[in-house]
Amino acid sequence: MASLCLSLRPTPPKPFKTVFTPPLPSIFRSTVQISPPHHKCRPTTNITRMSYKGSSGSATPATDRLISAVAYTLPFFNSLQYGRYLFMQYPNLGLVFDPLLPLLGLYRSVPYASFVAFFALYLGVVRNPAFSRYVRFNSMQAVTLDVLLVVPLLLTRIFNPGRAGIGFRLMVWGHNAVFVFSCFCFVYGLVSSLLGKTPYLPFVADAAGRQL
């Protein structure tokens, strides 16, 4: 009976032994290479600015250059009347414009040449889609400048400053400034057109661009 009781007693658990497993040699190791995820390269978008025709000389035909250059002669011929005070004060200044006298004489020999040239340039070139935008823009600048040149004459007739006094001096200074400005616009527009570049006249270019 005693032996039976002893056999029914639970045996105490054996202490847990930690078994150290040596690392495997490098030859048995499995090498796993983790490559970075493959991203698709986004297509490169080349943004090319649309160059305005006439910004470079190679893109402008010779006929467009010639028509644009001739267009700026209209406001220049009509602005010569503002330079009479400068010509009276500096007689040698007139020698610069002597080569233009034959063209000026031919221009003034035509009856109503100013009105004819104005409407021919505006209706025949500016509003004609057969011409390039380069020609139409330059012609519109010339037309706009020619319209602005009428304003000083209207102011002179309205206020009538007379032949002496501060009003007359202001008129002379104003006419001289208009003449110098018109000469600058003529030279700038002429040279730029012959080179095939687009001239942007001050106080004129924005108004001309809106009309197109």
Q: How many domains, the chain? A: 1
Q: What's the whole-number mean pLDDT along residues 7-16?
A: 47
Residues 170-212: tens digit of each pLDDT: 999 999 999 999 999 999 999 999 999 999 999 899 999 888 8
Higher pLDDT, 55 or 80: 80
**150 lies in a domain?**
yes
Those residues whose C-beta lies under 8 Å from the C-beta of residue 71, and which sit 6 or more positions away, are 121, 125, 135, 138, 139, 141, 142, 189, 193
**36 lies in a domain?**
no
pLDDT of residue 108: 85
pLDDT of residue 58: 55
Residue 26 has pLDDT above 50, yes or no: no
| Strand, helix or coil for residue 125 | helix
Q: pTM score, two decimals?
A: 0.69
**206 lies in a domain?**
yes
Residues 63-76: tens digit of each pLDDT: 999 999 999 999 99
Residue 129 has pLDDT above 60, yes or no: yes
Q: What's the whole-number mean pLDDT along residues 120-141?
A: 95
**72 lies in a domain?**
yes
**Least reliable range by pLDDT among 25-34, 61-70, 153-162:** 25-34
**184 lies in a domain?**
yes
C-alpha torsion angle, residues 95, 192, 69, 101 (rounded to 10): 0
Q: What's the whole-number mean pLDDT along residues 110-130?
A: 93
Phi, psi angles (nearest 5°) of residue 197: -100, 165
CA–centroid distance for 97 within its chain? 32
Break the chain down into helix, strand, coil percent, rounded to 5. 65, 0, 35
Residue 50 has pLDDT above 90, yes or no: no
Residue 146 has pLDDT above 60, yes or no: yes
**15 lies in a domain?**
no
Amino acid identity, position 77 = F
Range of the domain at 206: 57-211
Q: How far apart are CA 196 and CA 115, in angstroms?
A: 28
**200 lies in a domain?**
yes
Q: Which two tokens stand for residue 177?
A: 């400034």
Residue 17 has pLDDT above 80, yes or no: no
pLDDT of residue 180: 96
Residue percentage of the chain with pLDDT more than 90: 50
**12 lies in a domain?**
no
Q: Which two tokens stand for residue 119?
A: 């409407």
